[in-house]
Amino acid sequence: MGKMKEIFMSFIDENPNMSDAEYQDWLHTQGYKPITQENLQHDIWWNSLTGKQKQQLFTDQEELFKLTIEEINHENK
């Protein structure tokens, strides 16, 4: 059993009559973030990309980051 599941099962055993609101509060304290429509759409988009397309996005982002650093360094001279 995974660690999060063990924590959850322990919490349920200790709080068998908790409300849905209490359960949601507990999830929040555990760092759980609900899935939003935006996150779901992003995941669908990301999963639709090929490995080559994902690599190109990373490469482009890395190049943009390098250019930004170079601009900052140039401005500080």
4-27 pLDDT, tens digit each: 788 878 888 888 888 888 888 888
**pTM of the shown model:** 0.45
Please report which confidence band the pLDDT of residue 34 belongs to, taking 50, 70 and 90 as the band edges: confident
Tokens representing 35 are: 């899935």
Residue 26 falls within a domain, yes or no? no
Residue 6 falls within a domain, yes or no? no
- Residue 30: exposure state from Cβ atoms within 10 A (0-12, 13-18, ≥19): exposed
As a whole number, mean pLDDT of residues 25-38 equals: 83
pLDDT in tens, 45-66: 999 999 999 999 999 999 888 8
Residue 43 falls within a domain, yes or no? yes
Residue 22 falls within a domain, yes or no? no
* Identity of residue 32: Y
Residue 66 falls within a domain, yes or no? yes
| DSSP of 26-65 | HHHHTT--PPPHHHHHHHHHHHHS-HHHHHHHHHHHHHHH
Please report which confidence band the pLDDT of residue 70 belongs to, taking 50, 70 and 90 as the band edges: confident
| Number of domains present in the structure of the chain | 1
> How far is Cα 1 from Cα 5, in angstroms, rounded to an integer?
6
Q: How far is CA 44 from its chain centroid?
A: 14
Residue 29 falls within a domain, yes or no? no
Looking at residue 49, what DSSP letter applies? Answer: S
